[in-house]
Chain A
Amino acid sequence: MGAASRRALVALPAVGAVAVSAGVASPAEAAVYLPRAWTRTAIPTAATLHQLKRFTSGYTPALNKQVIAAGGFTKWFEKQLGGSYSDGWSSDTSRWWTSINASASEIWRRDQEGIEGMWLADANYERWTLVRRLGSQRQVLETMTDFWENHLHVPAKGEVGPFRSSYGKTIRRFALGRYDDMLAAAITHPAMAVYLGNANSSKVAPNENLGRELLELHTVGRGNFDEDDVKTSARILTGYRIDSWRTWTFSYDPAHHWTGPVGVLGFSHANAAPDGRAVLTAYLRHLARHPATARRIAFKLARRFVSDTPTDALVARLAKVYLASNTDIRPVLRSLVTSTEFRGAYGTGKKVRNPTEDVVATWRSLGATITAAPRDGEAEVAANEILWQTSSLGLRPFSWQPPDGRPDTAAAWSSTSRFLNSLDLHYTMSGGWWPQVGVRFRTARSWLPADRIRFDQLVDHLARTIHGRGSTSLLLQAACEATGCTPATSITANHQVVKYEMARLLTVFLDCPTHMTR
């Protein structure tokens, strides 16, 4: 056992002791590690930084400029909600993989001809979402698409036929629109029908899977329905057919639809016609407007953007806005960002980035960019390999298996594997070691804002560039310890930190709470 790990062993009990006490560097350390500002590097206000971290895939200096050009966060946010910024990146990159815009029959044909398996088509869809988040000018749209795609979760693992890309694009279309429209489109989409067993449910013995999850997960939530509601819900959903594994043709056959009076949670209908689709649409729109659905959506939004444990008062307010706005999501978001609860969450850093968010934020923080479209889904280029980075952290964008969607709490994303694998990714990306093809990393020299600079000022410049805020005593200490520098060390392009150890320095800015939370 080496000296380093021995030392680690001895140091640990002290670490634990500090953890339960003050929570700040001791006065003696603070005196040694006094941050020194490098004010030439611009940063947003603390409030704006908080807003941007919660509503985008990660801070960048370019994002800060976009906000300034818009006239501040509020105006920028309105432009984001209104779709003023270009969607060119999204449409351009959608052409990087054939399957993103291909029809279901084309995706199935390619699978059958051995050109691209459906699992790969789904993987390519995941890649596109990562690349979108990386470079999109419509950051709020991408964030909300992720939110809804997780709320109405359907995995992208090749298990829902040739429909997953179409499903994701459907969600994106409504992500800043009305929830009743989105719910109706999602529940009747063939991807959902395959995933939750509605594809060939029938009046003879209805499959209850989608009927249940529609109530428990997508709308009113636990405790607001009973088993009779599940059965009725399943009956209303009957009639859809999918020619699974032959043609994947999606159709509606009235012969399979259960007819007769139905009543669920205040919705009632004679349901006498053989074609039950109009009843289903009315039922879904009713559920979207149910007060329990409003509370559930409000709670999930508050948990995503404010706190793992949002207050009842905030949830009640957002639910009220949701109902008053006819399930339009934009007024709810406006109410959320102006709430005292959201503002009160400034700088608390309690929302932990999940693995997928960590990967995208790491690229953005380091100024790493994708420089080439992949030739196909199997080419070893960055636009493809970014997906393996998310899986190394334990979560691809849509690999979560159960229909509840991945969790959105700190406890879920704080495990040993997650933490240590995040550090591994940060270090690899800091060194620019992988991916190697189709990517551009900044040079070590480019991180120096002057030919000669004190180490403490370099740390401050890096904090401003990567985190969007100035350095702290703790960060300076960690940077000094990682490199062997002192705050006063003079750094030039010939210093060993720049020549050989920039990765060891940069990773300090990613391996910390500021980067691993949003």
Chain B
Amino acid sequence: MPKNDALKKLLIIGSGPIVIGQAAEFDYAGTQACKAIREEGIETILVNSNPATIMTDPGIADKVYMEPLTEEALIAILERERPDGILAGFGGQTGLNLSMVLEESGALARLGVRLLGVNRDSIKRAEDREAFKELMLAIEEPVPQSAIATDMESCRAFVAEVGYPVIIRPAYTLGGTGGGMASRDAELELLARRGMENSAIGQILLERSVAGWKEIEYEVMRDAKDNCIIVCGMENFDPVGVHTGDSIVVAPIQTLRDEEYQMLRDASLKIIRSLEIEGGCNVQFALNPENSDYVVIEVNPRVSRSSALASKAAGYPIAKLAAKIALGYSLDELKNYVTHKTSACFEPTLDYCVVKFPKWPFDKFGAASRKLGTQMKATGEVMAISRNFEDALLKAVTSLEVKLEGLRVDSISRLNDEALLHKIDVCDDERLFAIVEAMRRGESVEALHARTRVDPWFLNKLGNIVRMEKALEKEEMTVELLREAERMGFVDDEILRLSGVSGKLLQDIRDYHNIFPVYKMVDTCGGEFEAVTPYFYSCFDAEDESRVSDREKILVVGSGPIRIGQGIEFDYCCVQGVWAIKELGYEAIIINNNPETVSTDFDTSDKLYFEALHTDDVMNVVKKERPLGVVLQLGGQTSLNIAENLAKRGIPILGTQFNAIDLAEDREKLRNLLGEMGIPTPAGKSVTNEAEAFAAVKEFGYPLVVRPSYVIGGRAMQVVYGDEELKKYLEEAVSLSSEHPVLIDQYIEGREADVDAIADGEDILIPGLMEHIERTGVHSGDSISVYPPHTIANEVADLLVEYTRRIARRLNVVGLINVQYACSGDKVCVIEVNPRASRTVPILSKVTGVPMVKLAVAAMLGKRLRDSGYGVGLYRKMRLHAVKVPVFSGAKLTDVDVALGPEMRSTGEVLGVAGDFAAAVYKGFLAAGMRIPLEGGFYVGLRAPDQSAEAAETLREYVRLGFKLYASEGTGRFMEKYGISAETLRFEDVLQKTGEEILGLINVPEVANKPGSNSFDIRRKAIERGLPVLTCMDTAKIFLEAIKLKKSGAAPKYATLEEYLGDA
């Protein structure tokens, strides 16, 4: 069936901000979909509020609306654009839900817009638990016993029937928000209530638990002709009970006999056919290992995180093919994108083993429970490929960047046996390491299987790793042993440490016997056909398939897994970098390990190495390819961290050199440098013990900012106001990082500004300045920031430009640099210098139209900014206003505070863009999913330092707008002093009224992130009810703009980025 020629213009809905459960995979899917449609000559309109994405870049879609993903905005855009259809299956749950709303309200019918790829019935049947169960019963596919509940009565009745444990899943949510497993009455009460609250329709599913069964997933595709294929089957290391997003996942399926594999394959095909999906879908099964019985757990009628993983694991671009299918093509008319010759209507066969490992944010959220369950907690993931499971697993662990060389975690090695077994039973993010430690202590596979239900096949493989550890420790080093250890994925440092042999000896054996990794191709067909796609992984085997061209090459080091503080924006920069390198005529090679992203799409670069980003792995690729230079400044802290090692080995680093990176990152050196240059920076000291710390206190006085050296995302950074707090911090922080000292800086209160510049060694170009709404003390990643600055005076702006130019010049920056400033009155002071791409690069590139990464790469390759056509100095100010609003995955991590502080907590961001400031603010809040109330009550609770006249002015404005204010006792007294009427409430009453009379919080806590404290509970409840929680007075003040605009009733205008830029 060829393409439907009636389709001339299509709209694609993106997934909005990155939150846990909905991350970079939808940038990958959306980008592929846009490209697949555009190359058919169809006009492509994209709506997405996430500025850090590649898909919102010029050149991917024909028109980009960076507008909130709300019904109102979508209808306005549909009315303007009148597309022929909507592709709803590429924007995750957000896109799907929004499409459903548009369909149900009749808007699509009214505007003559077709829903492509999925239809209302299939979404309903896949997503509505009851409808799904009915369908499964109708097609005779087994599902666990279950019941739908909208009240507690029916929950209790169900449990009385099937017994505990039961699984609770809310209907219509992302990544299992609010779900969980209940084994007791109390847990049932808690989880069921929360689930009903979280569900968009107040509905939950209760299900008999099949925890402990094997969890198996299939990625299925179907076209309108009813051709169906399985792209990839995957098996979870962790049995049912842990969300698949939090599971170690292996592809292909390892432990199923062909009959079992085909049984589930048949079921998958039956299911996608019954749902009549035209495109991709994910089916999850639980399989009883004792007798091969199975049940269908879940179906996602769209591309998903799993489909991104499957695409990368199998080399089969699901989103691209799903988009083609939505246009009317059938699979048997399309070509395999990897071989270019064979058909797309086939099932990829893998000749390697893939391991996906989740990346969790617990290093950032010290207080959060690490226990894993049915609610996803990971922010990102890594993938590793090898010819055996052991190597793939070890590579994945290296890729996590948690400083592990192998599977040994010191804190776990130190546990006594009892504590160790307890840790295994709890099932947290470190369970794998605990299992391996138990094996080291002699625990049997049988015993561990009984305890964990992890399949013995996996446990035996872990046993192989443990046996190799012991062999290295006890046996004489031989060529055979080394070969075997390398084949299993042991890294050099681990081999040296365990065997005690010298590095020289190891190197000699290696050289003489030629024990080096080779690169194999991911080709979808197990080598059956010749492939043209240059997608490689390393392994210890005989033949190296990576042919090195004679072109000049540049290697871009990627940013690894998405984590808090290092998100999708760095993948954006890497992809832009690759494109720029290609445009300049060089061969662009990328090395990265994140399966979700565009950078690891095998048609992004000229050559993709799917590898860990450890120095050894990068060096192996460097040795192989001998690039002209390596680009390290685009992959965030990950790539920057290996600068020293590469510099020491004499590897050419493009752009800014290591010595400059070191100067900027080492705060002591930076302070001295800025001092010499006469540029103000907060006084500070680096201390290694308590005595030195208190000496510093004497010198600077409180408040102080304390942090460990070398940081990402303000890790473990804190503002301290007194001795006791400082003492406590030092005890915890020093144990966090013993290699590096603790830094103590003066805390400067003021406005914060982010300056991003491109430097060529001579000149700099600053596309624009961004000002933070929240004052210093709130992490820049978590603050609302605006372009252009709205309070910074011109003279101050001039100073920012001048300082940035001088710093760039002095550090000899070539490429990108980000400088963060605190501005107080007409004084400007440097807080941080990052000689690399930053979070704000994609935003500024989009709102100014200056292609920052492209210019930076050109500068690295010797081009002059003066000749770029964009000029030098500060670029002209656009007439648009843009407001970046952070988004927190608050609903997912129930024990994490949302109160702002110096530690970054947000997982993503949105951009509100408009012709005027207030509308941009309004759109920003809206896009961030913040409910903007027009009436009702606000609860106000402010810590002492915030009980100021300025705060009173803001609160008075809330009263003036007709809101009723409630207050804690202390805050009430303060408000009374300023003549602001407020009803004083006890804590219990606040909690009870939240969500009823109280529709928002203005709450600046003394100490953030203290679960169990009163105000924490109030904030949690408000977040779970979807209420605005404003934890900084600056945020509360700017929120007024959004309320006022909404009250005025003026409908905001929606336009494309190009139109906003054109207004300049």
Q: Do A and B bind each other?
A: no
A interface residue numbers (CB < 8 A to B): none
